[in-house]
Structure 1
Amino acid sequence: MTTTNLGENARVDPPDGRPANGTGAANEPSPTSDGTEKSLSELAGDLTRQMTALVHDEIELAKTEMSEKGKRVGLGTGMLGAAGVLALFALGCLTACAVAAVALVTSVWLAALVVGAAYLVVAGLLALTARAQLARATPPVPEEAMESAKEDVAWLKTQMRSAKR
């Protein structure tokens, strides 16, 4: 995981144990401004602040990712709608052509009935195929944010195990 800086005080350290600024090691005591080591309560406070910042950053990442995906879905949906309208116009022309062609060998009403029935068969097959595809689809989720959160949890578990030793 790379260092993320989404806000003035929201800085996340990478899971390899190095602080984000690249100085010191994670297992060294954290000195205070006067050079003494921090107490356990100060370290717990630091951990709480860092975890809060981490959670905030993960939420921001998820929001950003979902916003970008939403924009793409909106654009694609609009284009698909325009294509559908044009296809509907073409279908009307092709339907008139098909009815006229079948009407050469039978009456016009029977030609329209045959063409309409053929359309219903095709529509039924498309509906069954679409239902199968939708059943296999996964819900849209912020994949990068979830992966990053999993890495952070794994890193935190490792750090907690190391601290217990």
Structure 2
Amino acid sequence: MTYPSQDPEPSLGKLVGEIGEDLSKLFRQEVELAKAEIRQEAAKAGKAAGLLGGAGFAGYMTALLVTLAVMFGLGSVMDLGWAALIVAVVWGAIAAVLFFKGKERMREVSPVPQQTVETLKEDVQWARAQKR
């Protein structure tokens, strides 16, 4: 009775197949990582955009409604034109503060998935090392 030889060295075809499977798995994992990073950055961008939108809406509404209310209140003490100007300046300052806070948060958003880029660089180095 003869048994097939148990060669400790895998065949070239088997090695190429395993490398192909490994690369396919690695690619799928990298895609999932990129998706997760992009979702995270999109959430940051959404929050910053919400602040900027809120600043615009708050600036408009306060400039309109509060200016009218305070303007007529101050109009009993001073000329109505000066009263309107004072109120408008105060609400303009508030709108500016909200705008700059939103702009600052927007700078924290990174459009490039950094972690994915780093792991792809590592993958390229690994693949080059396998060719040697």
Q: TM > 0.5 between the two?
A: yes
The answer on 1:154 being equivalent to 2:125 is: yes
Q: Deviations over 1:63-122 (max 9, x none)?
A: 233335545765x479859x7699569836643453245324322244224433x15853
Partner of 2:32: 60
Return the offset for 1:62. 1.5
Out of 93, 99, 112, which is 1:141 matched to? 112
Question: Which segment is superposed worse, 63-72 or 36-45?
Answer: 63-72
Structure richer in helix, relative to its length? 2
**Aligned mates of 1:73, 1:94 — CA distance in 2:** 30
Percent identity of equivalent pairs = 25
Out of 113, 118, 122, which is 2:93 matched to? 122
AA matched with 1:107: D
**Aligned mates of 1:73, 1:131 — CA distance in 2:** 10
Q: Deviations over 1:28-53 (max 9, x none)?
A: xxxxxx74222334322321221122
Partner of 2:12: 40
CA contact (8 A) 2:75 2:83 kept: yes
Q: Deviations over 1:114-155 (max 9, x none)?
A: 433x15853785598479748855533333333332332333
Q: Secondary structure at the match of 2:74?
A: helix
Q: Gaps (5+ residues) in structure 2?
A: none
Q: Where in structure 2 are the equivalents of 1:71-90 lying within 5 Å?
A: 76=47
Out of 69, 92, 95, which is 2:67 matched to? 95
CA contact (8 A) 2:44 2:109 kept: no
Q: Gaps (5+ residues) in structure 1?
A: 1-33
The TM-score with structure 2 as length reference comes to 0.56
CA contact (8 A) 2:49 2:102 kept: no
Distance 1:141 1:155, change over 3 A: same
Out of 101, 104, 111, which is 2:83 matched to? 111
Partner of 1:17: none
AA matched with 1:152: D
The TM-score with structure 1 as length reference comes to 0.48
**Aligned mates of 2:48, 2:109 — CA distance in 1:** 18
